Amino acid sequence: MKYLNEYRDPAVARGLVRQILDTATRRWVLMEVCGGQTHTIVKQGLDEILAPAVEMIHGPGCPVCVTSLEQIDKALNLAARPEVLFTSFGDMLRVPGSECDLQQVRARGGDVRVVYSPLDALELAIRHPERQVVFFAVGFETTAPANAMAVWRARELGVPNFSVLVSHVTVPPAMIAILDAPDNRVQGFLAAGHVCSVMGWTEYEPIAARYKVPIVVTGFEPVDILEGIALAVRQLEEGRHEVENQYVRAVRRAGTPPAKDLVFQVFELADRKWRGVGTIPRSGLVLRPEFADFDAELRFGLGSMEVEEPAECHAGEVLRGTLKPLECPAFGTICTPERPLGAPMVSSEGACAAYYNYGRHRAATAAES
Amino acid sequence: MCLGIPGRIVDIRGDRGLPMGTVDFGGVRRDVCLAYVADEVSVGDYVVVHVGFAISRVDEEEANRTYEMLREMSLLEGELGAAP
């Protein structure tokens, strides 16, 4: 497909690999923020081929992984109610809650349906006025415009049986939390391209300046990621720390203003708990008071829930980048895609899933024996 | 979850006041909400689509320019790399 296949060109990729290896005079530590980028990096072995020049640390950019256990348990509670038709992106179905996951609720008779777009969930509500249709509105800034539009349209079209369980997070506060951590090793970032397609990159300029880290807005194909790394390494070698845009075909400095505008008409910033990481100030989006009628937590009187993470799950350290999946004692033993302890093992953007699915586990075992 | 796929707009229409369109992804066609890019796109343009929404117009001129730069660089590097 156009604007996709050419960014998988092996000849261009080889040229960039050579350039990165030639430029680096030492080994730099970079973090790719987005889990989609993690999967490309691990699948293509980019971290291994670039190992002499950069260490890639995998970031927290997996919305499925960072959705708090409490929100997952609320979803499970709602999905089990007979009057509820619960809708979600497919990624959320296998995320472990305290006792089970959405797929198991469905197996026990809960009406849980996967939708491609939040507008499909709204359409279900219009078609089933006798049911309470709840949509699990998770995601980063990339997904926020779609979820905001579903709520906006529900009000505009007057759909009283539609509501959303919101668990939205935003990227810049998480980057600041990583940089503020006393054990931080990250020297530069690849920022998430599609988050910036919506939001632009002005929010990153003060972060780059204050923490003296290069931040390169980067796409998702192998050539994109290699070019992003090449730009970050060049900045580090030259002692620069700027925001640079690799993903020029899809990102403008101001982002996509109409999308940003609607997001902040429907949502407002609030503190948000990240699974395994803890509460990050002003890192979440919640419905504005004028859209409270569409808040599933209020509609169904959910309140707060007591939850406890399994002690043997190290997902939080993996999400903060302080532990690689292979360093987790549970990885591949008591935590597998079939029986996950934490969300990073089952999400299509989870770092543990990337390592497991692309055979890093088998490679490590073979090397030991 | 932040997966975004570039596709070409085949038609543009309204659905109860919401700008919608058909977008072609290498032969697969889907309904896509164009509300956020409606002012800057027309039929034939490429957009990045995420969960049924166009979140950004693809800047074809920039895309072609930067890709040509990358290709030239890799060809040059290839020649230099092959030299004794």
Out of A310, A328, A348, pick the residue that ends a domain: A310
- Name the domain count of chain A: 2
CB-CB contact of A283 with A272 (8 Å): yes
- Residue A41's H or E segment, with its range, is helix A35-44
Residue A35: list chain B partners with CB under 8 A.
1-2
Each residue's pLDDT tens digit, A28-44: 999 999 999 999 999 99
Decide: A25 and A237 in contact? Cβ < 8 Å: yes
Residues A293 and A186 in one domain: yes
Span of A246-260, B8-22, B63-77 with lowest mean pLDDT: B63-77
Residue A243 and residue A104 share a domain:
yes
Across A148-161, average pLDDT: 98
Q: What is the Cα–Cα distance from A157 to A151, expressed in whole angstroms?
A: 10
Residues A272 and A192 in one domain: yes
Q: How close B40 comes to chain A (CA, Å)?
A: 10
- When CB atoms are compared, the residue of A36, A116, A259 closest to B51 is A116
A94 touches chain B (CB under 8 A): no
Asked if residues A77 and A328 have their Cβ atoms less than 8 Å apart, the reply is: no
Taking 90 as the threshold, does the pLDDT of residue B81 lie above it? no
Contact B62 A194 (CB under 8 A): no
The reply to whether A251 and A291 lie within a common domain is yes
Instruction: Indicate yes or no: CB of A2 within 8 angstroms of CB of B46.
Output: yes
**Residues A74-96, mean pLDDT to the nearest whole number:** 96
Calculate mean pLDDT across residues A155-183.
96
Crossing angle for the helix pair A257-266 and A144-157, to the nearest 10 degrees: 60
Q: What is the pTM of this model?
A: 0.94
Banded pLDDT at B83 (limits 50, 70, 90)? very low
Residue A20 pLDDT > 60, yes or no? yes
Its domain, for residue A278, covers 1-310
Annotate chain B with three-state secondary structure.
Answer: CCCCEEEEEEEEEEECCEEEEEEEECCEEEEEECCCCCCCCCCCCEEEEECCEEEEECCHHHHHHHHHHHHHHHHHHHHHHHCC
A62, A157, A256 member nearest B56 (Cβ): A256
What residue of B is the nearest CA neighbor of A6?
A: B67
Looking at residue A158, its amino acid is G
Domains in chain B with CATH codes = 5-82 (2.30.30.140)
Q: Looking at CA atoms only, how far is residue A362 from chain B in angstroms?
A: 26
**Listed residues A292, A310, A328: the one ending a domain:** A310
Q: Is A210 helix (H, G, I), strand (E, B) or coil?
A: helix
pLDDT above 50 for A205: yes
Q: Of A270, A286, A310, at which residue does a domain stop?
A: A310
Kindly report, residue by residue over A245-293, the tens digit of the pLDDT.
Answer: 999 999 999 999 999 999 999 999 999 999 878 899 999 999 999 999 9
Do A357 and A251 lie in one domain? The reply is no
On whether both A89 and A204 belong to a single domain, the answer is yes
Which positions 53-82 of B are in contact with A (Cβ < 8 Å)?
53, 55-56, 58-60, 62-63, 66-67, 70-71, 73-78, 81
**Whether residue A332 sits in one domain with residue A293:** no
The answer on A358 and A266 residing in a single domain is no
Answer yes or no: do A287 and A358 share one domain. no
Q: What is the ipTM of this complex?
A: 0.93
Measured CA to CA, the distance from residue A352 to residue A201 in angstroms comes to 28
Q: Check whether residue A250 and residue A269 sit in a common domain.
A: yes
Distance from CA of A363 to the nearest CA of B (A): 27
Q: Please check whether residues A319 and A306 belong to one and the same domain.
A: no
- pLDDT tens track for A38-68: 999 999 999 999 999 999 999 998 998 999 9
Among the partner residues A1, A63, A139, nearest to B25 by beta-carbon distance: A1
* Cα–Cα dist A281/A279, whole Å: 6
- B2 vs A16: CB contact, 8 Å cut-off? no
Q: Are residues A270 and A336 located together in one domain of the fold?
A: no
Element containing residue A133 per DSSP (H, E): strand A132-139
Calculate how close chain B gets to A248, using CA atoms only, in Å. Answer: 6
Q: What is the mean pLDDT of chain A?
A: 94
A94-151 pLDDT per residue, tens: 999 999 999 999 999 999 999 999 999 999 999 999 999 999 999 999 999 999 999 9
In A184-213, the residues whose Cβ lies within 8 Å of chain B are 192-195, 197-198
- A55: CATH: 3.40.50.11740
Residue B50 banded pLDDT, cuts 50, 70, 90: very high
Residue A198 pLDDT greater than 70, yes or no:
yes
Quote the pLDDT of residue B84. 38
